[in-house]
Each structure stands twice: as C-alpha cells, then as structure tokens.
C-alpha cells in the first residue's frame, strides 16, 4: 500500500493534525511572552525604584544622638597595645595580606601567605596577636575564621622585644 491510502490506514492524518496543533500552540505561547515582555520589564523596574526609595530616612535629631552614642562607645572601648618595631612590621604585613584575602579569613591561609613572603617567625607572631586579642574568632556560621579587632589602637614601643 502506497500514497494516501497508506497515510489513512496508519492514522497519519491525526498525527499530522496533532503536530500542527502542538507547533501552533507553541507559537501562540511564544508570541504572548514576547508581546508582554516590555510590560514585565517595566513592572520590575518600578519595583526596583520603589525599593530604592522606600529606605527610611532617620530624623536628624535621632541620627545625631545615635552618632554621638557610637562615638562615646568608641571612646570607651578603644584599647592601646604596645608593639615592638618588628611586631608592628609583621602586624602591617598580616593586615596587608588579609586585605587581599578579605575578612573573615582563615589562619591557615594567612600563615601560608606569610611563609611565602618570608616573614620571620610567622607562627610566633600570629600566636602573640591572638593572645593580645588583636585577632578574634568571627563566630556564628563562620567558625574557624578570624577578623581583626577594630577597637584596638597600635602604638610603637621603643624597647626591642627579643622573644
């Protein structure tokens, strides 16, 4: 059997109609999506602007009080740590390394970078900084990562520490 009789016998016309309807419905969905894309983008832009402008602006007097409270808190919390010139140099190297690593940082990575750069006695200095509380554990979900203490002021001592 050949020709149109073979197509009719194998339900070819139904298969053809099903294929045409699938392609046509796909084209309808695609055209609907393309025609409404501009509206969707405008809607998302408006939402973005609303979020940007919805930030609450503090009352100037309240903001001044908060700023003064923060300054008072800083003045009370600031602690002075005296370091030898070698320790200050290593401290500055470590701070430079961690700026590139980003905070919070891993002590292992800090030590690896310090050894690569030839810093003398990196383990000793790191332990000393931990004991002086120049470094503290980030805590929370960042256990095992550390941050530099911000409320500590570093001063240079004139005597050399030969430990």
Domain boundaries in the chain?
Answer: 4-53, 78-156
Dist CA 27 CA 33 (whole Å): 10
pLDDT of residue 42: 92
pLDDT tens by residue, the chain, 163 residues? 788 888 888 888 899 999 999 999 999 999 999 999 999 999 998 888 877 766 655 556 656 666 676 666 555 556 777 778 888 888 888 888 888 887 777 778 888 888 888 888 888 888 888 888 778 777 777 777 787 777 777 777 776 444 4
pLDDT of residue 32: 95
51: tokens are 């979020």
Dist CA 97 CA 39 (whole Å): 49
Q: Is 78-156 a domain of CATH 1.10.10?
A: yes
Specify the length of the chain in residues. 163
């Amino acid at each position: 059997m050949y020709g149109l009789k073979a197509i009719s016998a194998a339900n070819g016309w139904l298969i053809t109609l099903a294929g045409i309807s699938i392609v046509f419905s796909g084209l309808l969905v695609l055209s609907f999506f393309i025609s409404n894309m501009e509206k969707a983008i405008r809607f998302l832009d408006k939402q973005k602007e609303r979020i940007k402008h919805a930030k609450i602006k503090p009352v100037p007097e309240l903001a001044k009080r908060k700023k003064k409270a923060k300054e008072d808190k800083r003045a009370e919390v600031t602690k002075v740590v005296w370091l030898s010139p070698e320790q200050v140099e290593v401290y500055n190297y470590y701070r430079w390394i961690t700026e590139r690593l980003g905070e919070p940082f891993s002590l292992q990575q800090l030590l690896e970078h310090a050894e690569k750069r030839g810093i003398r006695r990196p383990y000793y200095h790191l332990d000393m900084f931990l004991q002086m509380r120049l470094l503290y554990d980030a805590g929370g979900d960042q256990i095992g990562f550390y941050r530099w203490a911000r409320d500590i002021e570093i001063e240079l001592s004139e005597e050399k520490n030969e430990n």
